[in-house]
Chain A
Amino acid sequence: MNKNGIFMKIMMPLLDRLSPTCDVITRKISESMDHPISLRDRFRIRSHILFCAFCNRYRRQLLAIRNMLETKRGRLEDADMVDTPVLSPDAKERIKHSLRKPDDN
């Protein structure tokens, strides 16, 4: 094995551990939204997104999606919002019909 080969075999995994790549960081970012992650992982994410605009966007976008869904859930109460799917007249009629003859269902 030449010198380069030894370097690749020993040093590269070590470097990857010290500074994970974007695929690992995105996984950790998602995990951090579900349970408290270790201090070391928090530090890895922080230091990575200082320099990686894409992972920084990824993180902000996941948080934005979470907020959007929360907003949508709140809007169920409000029938005048832009996003108001309703039962079609046909569907309403079908449901009413089934309630008239509940034993057929």
Chain B
Amino acid sequence: MSEAEENSRNPELASVQNEEQTRSDPEQWVDNYGNYLYRFALLRIHDSQLAEDMVQETFLAALKSKTGFEGRSSERTWFTGILKNKIIDCYRKNARMAGFSDTFSAEDAGDFFMDGKAKGHWKTGSAPSDWGKNPQRVLENKEFNKVMELCLGYLPRQLASVFSAREIEGWKSDEICKEFSISSSNLWVMLHRARTQLRKCLDVNWFKPSPERG
């Protein structure tokens, strides 16, 4: 009788062996799931060093975990869950940082005329340029993805955290307010600032026709 057949007759033994298998070689985790987890983290926090550290902390937490991976889900799902919790802790810390002002100050108004006849209207240099009919196409361009990564990285941490929770995790406004203990009006102001800065960064560094790019 082969080992597999033996195991199928004794599910308890099989599950013990399975668990030992997943616990046996943590170094293999790095090769199997390291890149996926790194990309998962990088998309959400835009800091390669921090993303690396989080992957490492995830594996260490898994190693020390008493319950371990019990075959409830795939191994990757288990790691992803641990990593996600770490990322959300990081969001929460950033979102509650002091120093946020709820008023629309000069930084928001920078794109618009502050006074005169055209008060409140787009300044010529800041007005959105034409992104073409199908802007999604640029995602096929490696260089664009780099620019996007940089632009996301330029966002102040506080804005980046609420923006990621909204646009990457896909949380609803009230979920974010509850999770991060912020008011909805604060949240909307932060999201608006994040979108405005990101849009402008992509516009200036990619879409806007410039003499150098021709």
Q: How far is the CA of A91 from the CA of B145 in the complex (A)?
A: 22
In the complex, which residues of chain A have a beta carbon less than 8 angstroms from the beta carbon of B213? none
Do A102 and B60 have beta carbons less than 8 Å apart?
A: yes
- From B34, B104, B168, A87 is in contact (CB under 8 Å) with B34
Do B63 and A99 have beta carbons less than 8 Å apart?
A: yes
Majority secondary structure of chain B interface residues (helix, strand, loop or mixed) = helix
**B139 contacts the other chain (CB 8 A):** yes
**Residues 40 to 88 of chain A near chain B (Cβ within 8 Å):** 54-55, 57-58, 60-62, 64-69, 71-73, 76, 79, 82-87
Do B121 and A92 have beta carbons less than 8 Å apart?
A: no
Query: Contact mask B161-184 → A, CB, 8 Å, 1/0?
Result: 000001110000100000000001
Do B30 and A57 have beta carbons less than 8 Å apart?
A: no
Chain A residue total in the interface (Cβ 8 A): 47
**B39 contacts the other chain (CB 8 A):** yes
Stretch at the interface among B14-22, B84-92, B95-103, B185-193: B185-193
**B212 contacts the other chain (CB 8 A):** no
In the complex, which residues of chain A have a beta carbon less than 8 angstroms from the beta carbon of B119? 21
Do A85 and B173 have beta carbons less than 8 Å apart?
A: no
Chain B residue total in the interface (Cβ 8 A): 59
Q: How far is the CA of A54 from the CA of B176 in the complex (A)?
A: 30
Do B131 and A64 have beta carbons less than 8 Å apart?
A: yes
In the complex, which residues of chain A have a beta carbon less than 8 angstroms from the beta carbon of B63? 99, 102
Tell me the smallest distance from the CB of B44 to a CB of chain A, in Å.
9
In the complex, which residues of chain B have a beta carbon less than 8 angstroms from the beta carbon of A76? 36, 39-40, 43
Q: Which residues of B contact A (CB under 8 A)?
A: 26-27, 29-31, 34-36, 38-40, 42-43, 48, 52, 55-56, 59-60, 63-64, 104, 108-109, 111-112, 119-122, 127-131, 135-136, 138-142, 145, 148, 166-168, 173, 184, 187-188, 191-192, 195-196, 198-199, 202-203
Q: 4 closest A-B pairs (Cβ-Cβ)?
A: A21-B120, A30-B192, A57-B128, A83-B145
Sample of 21 A–B contacts (CB below 8 Å): A23-B112, A34-B191, A35-B173, A61-B202, A69-B167, A71-B139, A72-B43, A76-B36, A79-B35, A82-B141, A83-B142, A83-B145, A85-B38, A86-B35, A86-B39, A87-B52, A87-B55, A91-B38, A95-B56, A98-B56, A99-B63
